[in-house]
Structure 1
Amino acid sequence: MTSAPATTPGPTSAVPARLSTVPLPSSDVLPPPWPGGPVLVRGGEVFVRRTPWTGPVDGAADGAPRERALYVHGLGGASTNWTDLAALLAVRFDGWAIDLPGFGRSHPPARGSYSVRGHVAAVVDLLERIVAEPGEGAGRPVHLLGNSLGGLVCVVVAARRPDLVASLTLVSPAMPVYRVPAAFSRQLLLLLLPGVPALAERRLSAVTPEQQVRGMVQMCFGDPRRVPRARLDQALEEMRERAGQPWAVRALTRSMRGLITSYLRVGPANAWRMARSLRMPTLVLWGDRDRLVDPALAPRLAAAVPDARLLVLEGVGHVAMLEAAEPTARAVLALAEDAAGAVPAAVS
């Protein structure tokens, strides 16, 4: 897939993102979803896909950096949202991509709670396992990437456990706002009313997988024509698999309710306050055609996070890692390259 040039909107204290020039694998052939399996975390098991490190494209692996990354999808998404980006980043990263509890192939949490706090606990547990796994990179913090709801989860994780996070990439993160985007369906708006999540679940259950995929593409992509036919077929196959899971709609509606509830938090638990506390290298990445999370939040968030980098992609929607995988990969790699070369300030 291609994307328009990057821009940095408006005055902001954020540094414009640099793009790495490292050679990347060819994107002519789309990789299939990466294999995975269940991993035990607090609250139950989650399904985690693994993208193995490939090393540099030229094969010169001796001395090449080999680090670890964890990818966290958004509301209604799955670990497969990161298939293309993880393939590109494999030149530097061993990758893990989680299906959050109740999504993808993960079963619902044992206690049936889909709060942001519950998703955060699952990600923290998985990060601890990744850090402890033997091999190159063992014991070192992990590069953390999140989209939408997953981006919000990653902000909370990074604020609470900075020891686990080497760098943070936020792709259209669902930061607290108090005006619901027009692109949200009426069914999801029902969740704003007390006592009606069951009604929203019944209405969403009536939507066919084909309708869901069409709606997802129209809502999440800046230019739906960029979506390869093979990816549409895979999305439809996934949606049909989801339709056979009795908990699928509940996971969506209850996670949405949990997201809205999190917006009401004040004090240290507020996500904007947490963002201002972050100190790891951070990339804020948005598409300027995002219909779900207002792109105007991009410079605001980048200004809130100390020394954050900002990249806004023209013509791209809510899922830049799917719609514009190459520029997204280059921005992430540049962040990792610069973080690895950072020299701590001398102590006087």
Structure 2
Amino acid sequence: MSSTELPSAPASSALPKVSPVRVAEGERLRSVRLPGITLTVRSRPAAREGLPPALYVHGLGGSSQNWSGLMPLLDAHVDSEALDLPGFGDSPPPDDGDYSITAHARAVIRYLDASGRGPVHIFGNSLGGAVSTRVAAVRPDLIRTLTLVSPALPELRIQPTAVPTALLALPGVAPLFTRYSKDWSAEQRVRGVMGLCYGDRGRVTPEEFDNAVQEMTRRLQLPYFWDALARSARGIVNAYTLGGQHGLWRQAERVLAPTLLIYGGRDQLVGYRMSQRAARSFRSSRLLSLPDAGHVAMMEYPEVVARAFRELLADTGELNAVTGTAVETAGS
């Protein structure tokens, strides 16, 4: 594994120059080269040495920036890193063009194996929740705890508001939508995404909106943006139809790690009704329901999510190792 510090977006002779990726105060980016993939890793300096590692995995169309609000709230408890999955954020496409759930999970596993950071507290949102579930099922040695925010686990009856995202998986739809929306401004696109992902768009600050517009403008300059989005959407749909031992619900039942499930009552992409099935499927789980949250609770209510994770640490005995404070370990 080779690692390079990135003061801005990585340059490549094969790609046009685009705007630099935003780095929040206290964060840094580095590029990690692994066989077949190059990953951008966003990190924060640990509050002190010896903190257990945490890894954050974003959702479809997202990036490591989606965790910038949550990570500082956990500085005293974990050593945080967030990945840009291949083809998203500042990570270039994978060499083989594979955007399946399995391929994304393989990228996470490859990074953890190469970096030696495992076992980690892993966080996943939406697509990242499905990816993290698969990682936890097939490589339990890499996982301390699992925190899933609106994980994209199979639903027999998807919500009508999620249909356009699912349609991106169909061949030809992404180019068609690109032509249809070519005159949309970055501001219009961001308002549409936030309206779909947030329970209350009014919680978005002007600064957060401006940052999102800047990032959308940057992504639209990338020649592989729509391809990565469409192929990853296809990967989710394919995972939904996969049965047997490789099915995501079957893999959820195999997860050994203590699991925190977070669902939003106003989620328009992942059905809130799936929370109860998830709570039954993950053998050592707790459920946090946020009635006013949408699809990205870690961005809407980062303090609440951080508090729930700290409680998970305390109840599993992990907080004892982090702070030296005596706690009782709750039974599963």
TM-score range relative to shorter protein: 0.7 to 0.9
Return the offset for 1:177.
1.2
Cα distance in 1 for partners of 2:330, 2:272 equals: 33
Cα distance in 2 for partners of 1:214, 1:247 equals: 22
Return the offset for 1:286.
1.0
Return the offset for 1:255.
0.5
- Tell whether 2:30 aligns with 1:52: no
Cα distance change of structure 1 residues 189 and 306 upon mapping to structure 2, 3 Å threshold: closer
Residue type of the alignment partner of 1:234: N
Q: Is the 8 A contact 2:158 2:271 kept in 1?
A: no
What is the match of residue 146 of structure 1?
124
Cα distance change of structure 1 residues 222 and 195 upon mapping to structure 2, 3 Å threshold: closer
What is the match of residue 83 of structure 2?
98
Q: Specify every segment of 5 or more residues in structure 1 that has no aligned partner in the other structure, as ranges.
A: 1-29, 56-60, 134-139
Residue 309 of structure 1, aligned match among 286, 309, 312: 286
What is the match of residue 186 of structure 2?
209
Cα distance in 1 for partners of 2:278, 2:96 equals: 33
Q: Is the 8 A contact 1:73 1:148 kept in 2?
A: yes
- Tell whether 2:238 aligns with 1:245: no
TM-score normalised by the chain length of structure 2? 0.84
- Tell whether 2:154 aligns with 1:176: yes
Q: Is the 8 A contact 1:286 1:298 kept in 2?
A: yes
Q: Is the 8 A contact 2:314 2:329 kept in 1?
A: no
Cα distance in 2 for partners of 1:189, 1:72 equals: 20
Q: Is the 8 A contact 1:145 1:170 kept in 2?
A: yes
Return the offset for 1:184.
3.0
Q: Is the 8 A contact 1:290 1:316 kept in 2?
A: yes
Return the offset for 1:116.
1.0
- Tell whether 2:154 aligns with 1:161: no
- Tell whether 2:107 aligns with 1:129: no
Cα distance in 2 for partners of 1:271, 1:206 equals: 38
TM-score normalised by the chain length of structure 1? 0.81
Cα distance in 1 for partners of 2:163, 2:186 equals: 16
Give CA deviations for 1:261-319 in whole Å, capped at 9, x if unaligned. 11111111000001111111100011111111001111210111112011011211100
Moved over 6 A (4+): 342-345
Which is bigger in relative contact order (C-alpha 8 A, separation at least 6)?
1
Task: Please give the secondary structure, in 2, of the residue aligned with 1:168.
Answer: strand
Residue type of the alignment partner of 1:318: H
Return the offset for 1:107.
0.3
What is the match of residue 111 of structure 1?
96
Return the offset for 1:185.
5.9
Residue type of the alignment partner of 1:111: D
Q: Is the 8 A contact 1:159 1:274 kept in 2?
A: yes
Give CA deviations for 1:248-270 in whole Å, capped at 9, x if unaligned. 11111110011101111111100
Cα distance change of structure 1 residues 100 and 205 upon mapping to structure 2, 3 Å threshold: farther
Cα distance change of structure 1 residues 202 and 118 upon mapping to structure 2, 3 Å threshold: farther
Task: Please give the secondary structure, in 1, of the residue aligned with 2:161.
Answer: coil
Q: Is the 8 A contact 1:44 1:109 kept in 2?
A: yes
What is the match of residue 227 of structure 1?
204
Q: Is the 8 A contact 2:169 2:230 kept in 1?
A: no
Return the offset for 1:91.
1.1
Return the offset for 1:165.
0.3
Cα distance in 2 for partners of 1:110, 1:102 equals: 10
Cα distance change of structure 1 residues 264 and 189 upon mapping to structure 2, 3 Å threshold: closer
Identity %: 42
Cα distance in 2 for partners of 1:295, 1:327 equals: 18
Cα distance in 2 for partners of 1:249, 1:205 equals: 12
Cα distance change of structure 1 residues 47 and 302 upon mapping to structure 2, 3 Å threshold: same
RMSD: 2.3
Q: Is the 8 A contact 1:115 1:259 kept in 2?
A: yes
Q: Specify every segment of 5 or more residues in structure 2 that has no aligned partner in the other structure, as ranges.
A: 1-22, 321-327
Return the offset for 1:338.
2.5
Cα distance change of structure 1 residues 205 and 155 upon mapping to structure 2, 3 Å threshold: farther
Return the offset for 1:205.
5.4
